C-alpha cells in the first residue's frame, strides 16, 4: 500500500470516528426534579467532545424550537432557567418534559433523553392549633390544621420540619408518637407545622402554617420533683406555668421564659 493510499484510508477512518463521536447523545442533568413557582433551576447538558464554538439548546416537550440556549463550556453547558421559562404557556402546577441537544455550525446532535420537572404552585398558609402545649409521654393532644379554602384533599403534619403524617386535617397525637426515635431528658421540645393539598388537577400545595412548640414529658424518668424552663413566645402557650405529677408523686413544673436556653429548655 502506497503512502498516499495509507493517508487517504487514515483520513477516512478519522472522519468516520469523528462523526461517530459527534453523534453521541448528550446527557441532561437536573439539580432538582421539583421546584416551586418563582424559583430557578440549574440544568446541565453534557456533550461528548470539548468544544467552545457551539451552543446547547433546551426544548420543552416535543417542540422543535428551543426555549433556552447557552454557549458550550468545554464538555458541558449550564442553564439557569426560571419557573416561567419552564412553564411557557402552561399553567403553574404543571409537569414539564425537557430535553437538550448541541449544535455547532450546521451540525446538530441527537437529543438527550427527556426528563420531567414539576413546577409546584402554592396556596395561602393554613393555621395550626393544638389542644395543649405540654403532654406526658403516655397522653395525647389534638392537633388541627385549618386551611383557608374549603376544598382540601388532605393535610400533612410536620415534626421539626419532617413530614410524619398526612391524611385528615385533625387528629390526636400521643406523646409516644411525638417522641419516637428521640431522647427525652426528661423534657423534649417538638416543633409542629402543617400544610394541605387543595382539590385540583394540578400540582398545587400550600405554604407552611405557623409553627407551634409542644413539650413532651417522660414522667418515668422523674424520681424527684423538678423545675424546667422552656424558651419561647408566651403568646404561643396557653399558660406561663404547667405542672404534672408522676405515679411516684414527683412533680415536673414547666415555666415559659423569653430567655434563650440551651436546646430550648433546662431542667433543675
How high is the pLDDT of residue 90? Answer: 94
Q: State residue 57 phi and psi, 5-degree precision.
A: -135, 140
Task: Indicate whether 32 and 104 sit together in one domain.
Answer: yes
Task: Indicate whether 129 and 261 sit together in one domain.
Answer: yes
Q: In this predicted model, what pLDDT tens digit does every residue of 213-256 receive, in sequence order?
A: 888 877 666 666 767 777 665 545 555 667 666 666 667 677 77
Domain that holds residue 233: 124-267
How high is the pLDDT of residue 203? Answer: 92
How high is the pLDDT of residue 7? Answer: 31
Task: Indicate whether 261 and 133 sit together in one domain.
Answer: yes
Task: Indicate whether 202 and 218 sit together in one domain.
Answer: yes
Measured CA to CA in angstroms, residue 88 lies from 29, 59, 82, 203, 265 at distances of 20, 11, 10, 16, 50
CATH code, domain with 84: 2.60.40.10
Residue that is last in its domain, among 66, 91, 121? 121
* DSSP alpha helix (H) spans, 142-255: 175-179
How high is the pLDDT of residue 238? Answer: 52
How high is the pLDDT of residue 94? Answer: 96
Task: Indicate whether 106 and 135 sit together in one domain.
Answer: no
pTM: 0.68
pLDDT of the chain, 268 residues: tens digit per residue? 543 333 334 434 434 444 444 447 899 999 999 999 999 999 999 887 766 678 899 999 999 999 999 988 777 889 999 999 999 999 999 999 999 998 888 888 899 999 999 999 999 999 999 988 888 888 889 999 999 988 888 999 999 888 887 788 998 988 888 887 777 667 778 889 999 999 888 999 899 999 988 888 776 666 667 677 776 655 455 556 676 666 666 676 777 766 665 555 666 6
Cell numbers describing residue 134: 405540654
Gap between the Cα atoms of 216 and 136, Å rounded: 6
Task: Indicate whether 97 and 138 sit together in one domain.
Answer: no
Task: Indicate whether 26 and 116 sit together in one domain.
Answer: yes
Residue that is last in its domain, among 99, 121, 143? 121
Measured CA to CA in angstroms, residue 185 lies from 127, 133, 256, 263 at distances of 30, 17, 18, 11
Q: Which residues pair with 223 in a beta bridge?
A: none
Residue that is last in its domain, among 121, 138, 169? 121
Task: Indicate whether 108 and 132 sit together in one domain.
Answer: no
Task: Indicate whether 116 and 132 sit together in one domain.
Answer: no
Distance of CA 261 to the CA centre of its chain: 29
Task: Indicate whether 207 and 82 sit together in one domain.
Answer: no
Task: Indicate whether 246 and 144 sit together in one domain.
Answer: yes
Cell numbers describing residue 92: 403553574
Task: Indicate whether 70 and 81 sit together in one domain.
Answer: yes
**Domain count of the fold of the chain:** 2
How high is the pLDDT of residue 184? Answer: 66
Gap between the Cα atoms of 45 and 235, Å rounded: 52
Amino acid at each position: 500500500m502506497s503512502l498516499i493510499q495509507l493517508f487517504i484510508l487514515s483520513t477516512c477512518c478519522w472522519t468516520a470516528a469523528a462523526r461517530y463521536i459527534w453523534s453521541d447523545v448528550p446527557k441532561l442533568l437536573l439539580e432538582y426534579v421539583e421546584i416551586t413557582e418563582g424559583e430557578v433551576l440549574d440544568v446541565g447538558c453534557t456533550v461528548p467532545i470539548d468544544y467552545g464554538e457551539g451552543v446547547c439548546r433546551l426544548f420543552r416537550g416535543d417542540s422543535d424550537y428551543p426555549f433556552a440556549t447557552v454557549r458550550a463550556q468545554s464538555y458541558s453547558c449550564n442553564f439557569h432557567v426560571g419557573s416561567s421559562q419552564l412553564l411557557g404557556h402552561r399553567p403553574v402546577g404543571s409537569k414539564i418534559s425537557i430535553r437538550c441537544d448541541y449544535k455547532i455550525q450546521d451540525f446538530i446532535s441527537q437529543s438527550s433523553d427527556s426528563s420531567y420537572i414539576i413546577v409546584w404552585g402554592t396556596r395561602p398558609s393554613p393555621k395550626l392549633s393544638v389542644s395543649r402545649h405540654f403532654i406526658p409521654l403516655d397522653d395525647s393532644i389534638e392537633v388541627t390544621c385549618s386551611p383557608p379554602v374549603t376544598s382540601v384533599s388532605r393535610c400533612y403534619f410536620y415534626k421539626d420540619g419532617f413530614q410524619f403524617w398526612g391524611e385528615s386535617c385533625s387528629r390526636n397525637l400521643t406523646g409516644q408518637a411525638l417522641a419516637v426515635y428521640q431522647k427525652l431528658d426528661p423534657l423534649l421540645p417538638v416543633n409542629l407545622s402543617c400544610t394541605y393539598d387543595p382539590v385540583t388537577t394540578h400540582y398545587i400545595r400550600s405554604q407552611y402554617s405557623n409553627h407551634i412548640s409542644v413539650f413532651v414529658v417522660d414522667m418515668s424518668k422523674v424520681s424527684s420533683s423538678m423545675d424546667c424552663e422552656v424558651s419561647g413566645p408566651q403568646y404561643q402557650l396557653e399558660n406561663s406555668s404547667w405542672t404534672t405529677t408522676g405515679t411516684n408523686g414527683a412533680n415536673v413544673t414547666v415555666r415559659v421564659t423569653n430567655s434563650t436556653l440551651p436546646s430550648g429548655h433546662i431542667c433543675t
